Amino acid sequence: MTHPPRGLYAGLMSGTSVDAIDTALVRIDQDIALEHCHSHPLPPALRDAIAAISHSGADEIERLGVLDRQLGALFAEATLALLESANTAPEAVTAIGSHGQTVRHRPPSGGHSREEAFTLQLADPNTIAELTGITTVADFRRRDIAAGGEGAPLAPAFHAQAFSSPGSRRAVVNIGGISNISLLDGQTLVAGFDSGPGNTLMDHWIQRHLGEPFDRDGAWAATGKVDHALLALLLQHPYLALRGPRSTGKEAFNLAWLDEVLEASGSQPGAADVQATLALFTAQTIAAPVLEEHGIDAVFVCGGGAHNRELMRVLGTLLAPIAVASTEALGIAPDWVEAATFAWLASRTMAGLHGNAPAVTGASEERILGGVYPGRGPAISATQAPEVG
């Protein structure tokens, strides 16, 4: 894959877990070097607004427009905080790559026609460019959708660039709210796809029952006993039978669906037993497609799920004897891979290079992704950025 020009780029990512904006300062050279990172909190009011707009409701356009601007201001604030903590001037940054916050994802694999398929991410890039003074690249997914693709996942192309190794057959697994897998044969990207749920079901289940944002270390799941009847029903989700380019989101894997499956099961497992079952369900949906690709010799995990010890233990058991480790072993800590991905994608867009992988998304051809929003200078300081939330 052609290298983009050298430079310093900032990547911004808020995923389906909606817990924070992850920011990464990345130097693109012959190698990809993570220079600094920062996690910027999402105020509770904005998290609630994101949850509300993720479902149809009254006054949607008005709420969406306001939230788009608010998130743009918060993403700008996160960028300035990243640069301040890195002691780096905005003028030193070639461009920002902003993923934004996904609030709808309706891909072709979800049964939507090419004309009806769409994906939507908020965090107004005009606002980001205006408040930081830095050229901003955003809206990466919709061009791939327009070319007949899924618009996701986009990370596999970056995984191939950053984590491939000649003579090694690897899987890179990102466990965020949703999980995605990249299959690498040497330096060739063989396939990539969303495998199904990541942290989303476990997060929402513990939020409902214990009021905790997530199951730290998987400690609660480790106290439960797997309900195999429930597991069998969960594994019947139609998405899991798909092959080829595919992507999914919380539209398919959510508490409402889980409640329906629990009711259909006829059993009444304890809350901790459900959590243990969800951990195994998540691990199985990741392990199964990896095992289908014969000859994988190592699996590297990134995303928040890499910190869930119980999930990693179960995944390691399912994949044995394949070695399982985090991407820390490959030079980028698991929390920052996605933010680094969008810094890298911005560098490709700025160089006029394609960012999608048709073998992954199903797009008709390679495409330059995203729109470019020119910066202005000098940037305002973080303390001058408007308050949001």
59 is in an annotated binding site: no
**Sheet order of strands, 188-197 included:** 188-197, 178-185, 169-175, 298-302, 323-326
User: In angstroms, what CA-CA distances link 137 with 5, 11, 223, 344?
Assistant: 15, 10, 45, 11
198 with 317, same domain?
yes
Domain of residue 374 covers 7-151+338-384
Q: How far apart are CA 389 and CA 387, in angstroms?
A: 7
Is residue 389 in a domain? no
Token digits of residue 44: 């509770």
Is residue 43 in a domain? yes
Q: Does pTM surpass 0.95?
A: no
The pLDDT assigned to 382 comes to 45
287 with 375, same domain?
no
16 is in an annotated binding site: yes
146 with 201, same domain?
no
For the purposes of burial, counting CB atoms within 10 Å of the CB of 145, is it exposed (0-12), middle (13-18) or buried (19 or more)? buried
Strand ranges in 58-116 using DSSP code E only, listed in sequence order = 95-106
The pLDDT assigned to 114 comes to 86
The pLDDT assigned to 2 comes to 55
The pLDDT assigned to 266 comes to 86
Is residue 256 in a domain? yes
115 with 251, same domain?
no
Length of the chain: 389
45 with 187, same domain?
no
Cβ atoms within 10 Å, residue 26:
28
Q: What is the CATH number of the domain that holds 371?
A: 3.30.420.40
For the chain, 389 residues long, give each residue's pLDDT as a single digit of tens: 555 557 999 999 998 778 899 999 999 988 899 999 999 999 999 999 999 998 888 889 999 999 999 999 999 999 999 999 999 999 999 999 999 999 999 999 988 898 999 999 999 999 999 999 999 999 999 999 999 999 999 999 999 999 999 999 999 999 999 999 999 999 999 999 999 999 999 999 999 999 999 999 999 999 999 999 999 999 999 999 999 999 999 889 999 999 999 999 988 899 999 999 999 999 999 999 999 998 999 999 999 999 999 999 999 999 999 999 999 999 999 999 999 999 999 999 999 999 999 999 999 999 999 999 999 855 444 445 445 54
208 with 276, same domain?
yes
Is residue 1 in a domain? no
Per the structure, how many domains does the chain have?
Answer: 2
Mention every residue, 6+ apart, whose C-beta is less than 8 A from residue 347: 4, 5, 7, 9, 28, 94, 95, 97
The pLDDT assigned to 321 comes to 96
200 with 110, same domain?
no
Is residue 2 in a domain? no
91 with 198, same domain?
no
Q: How far apart are CA 156 and CA 341, in angstroms?
A: 9
85 with 164, same domain?
no
21 is in an annotated binding site: yes
Q: How far apart are CA 53 and CA 18, in angstroms?
A: 13
331 with 344, same domain?
no
359 conformational bin, left if phi > 0, alpha if psi -120 to 50, beta if neither: alpha
Is residue 21 in a domain? yes
20 is in an annotated binding site: yes
Token digits of residue 206: 């513990």
The pLDDT assigned to 5 comes to 59
* Residue type at position 313: R
72 is in an annotated binding site: no
Determine contact, residues 376/76, Cβ cutoff 8 Å: no
95-106/118-122 β-pairing: antiparallel
Is residue 181 in a domain? yes
195 with 240, same domain?
yes
Determine contact, residues 131/385, Cβ cutoff 8 Å: yes
Phi, then psi, of 329 in degrees rounded to 5: -65, -20
146 with 233, same domain?
no
Q: How far apart are CA 216 and CA 82, in angstroms?
A: 26
The pLDDT assigned to 377 comes to 59
